[in-house]
Amino acid sequence: GCGKSTLVEKCITGKKGVVSVLVSSVFDKERILQKMSTKIMGKDTPAVTEEELVAALHDAKVGGRLATVVFEIERGEGAEQTACIRNVRSLSKMFAQVCNCIIILSEANAILVFGQDGAREQYILVPDLSDAEALEYIRARKGGDVDVKEMMRLFNSAGTNAAKLLKFVSQDVSVDEFIGKELGKAEQDLAAFSLKPILKALKENPEGVSPKYFNNEKYEGIDLTDPVAVGAAMKGSNAILYDMKEGRYKLISQAQQVALRNYEPIVRYWFSTVLW
């Protein structure tokens, strides 16, 4: 209800090379593909495959600019919603090689702290692309060959998040300049994160830390074994997430993992006294 759909609609109205698709939570891949086909090629089009739509989107460039597909996913419940989001994400990863993809989750702002809506909390963050997918993503936007060695250096330092890669492609900066900016911002995110014991634990365990690791430990009045309580504190920083599938606190980005190697969290414990 904060205006996501209205904002996107204002931006795409009257623009060529844009396909906007409203997806119900009960849609499977075939229904999503059919709806896209109808939008692109008109009514009564026969069933299409993912490969055929990739070709159609590749040809939908306007003035050399990539086409854009907007998926708006209606609010749903349980397994149907989870399957729908998974289908849209899967299609977007394939289409991203030939077009830009925007996914709008309705009522995404309903997530205020962890533990309120498990089915949607699993999908708030888009996972990084594989190195091969990231190379294809950059090639599609640069329109030619790229220095693979330099790109791998970029991926290892700043990660392969699609939004971050798009920022790199759109800016006239060197790989070194971009890495420097991303690592600088990552260190700022770490400094802003208030629960330093989690950062200290992640420095020793970069793959993630279970809340059980803290054994009912409190830091500045917050029980570190409680993801819901920790979630409220996380809203002030873009450093940490709680992986619902793995049950672990994790750093959000590759850049933060790199920055944490040289960042030393200062831990100040909070104590309370009970008088009887």
Q: What is the pLDDT of residue 271?
A: 54
Q: What is the pLDDT of residue 248?
A: 93
H/E stretch holding 61 reads none
C-alpha–C-alpha distance, residues 29 and 264, integer Å: 46
| Amino acid sitting at position 38 | T
Q: What is the pLDDT of residue 147?
A: 93
CA–CA–CA angle 75, 102, 68 (5° rounding): 135
Give pLDDT tens digits along the chain (276 positions): 567 788 888 888 888 888 899 988 888 888 899 888 888 877 777 778 888 888 888 887 777 788 899 999 887 777 787 888 889 988 998 898 889 999 888 765 444 455 565 555 555 666 788 999 999 999 988 877 889 999 999 999 999 988 889 889 988 899 999 999 999 999 999 998 889 999 999 999 999 999 999 988 888 888 999 888 887 777 777 788 888 788 999 998 899 999 999 999 887 765 554 444
User: Is residue 98 a contact partner of residue 54, using CB atoms and an 8 Å limit?
Assistant: yes
C-alpha–C-alpha distance, residues 253 and 128, integer Å: 9
Helices (H), 143-253: 148-158, 162-170, 175-192, 196-204, 227-234
C-alpha torsion 38→40→42→46, nearest 10:
-50
| Burial of 95 from C-beta contacts in 10 A (0-12 / 13-18 / 19+) | buried
Place of tokens 């907007």: 70
C-alpha–C-alpha distance, residues 271 and 276, integer Å: 16
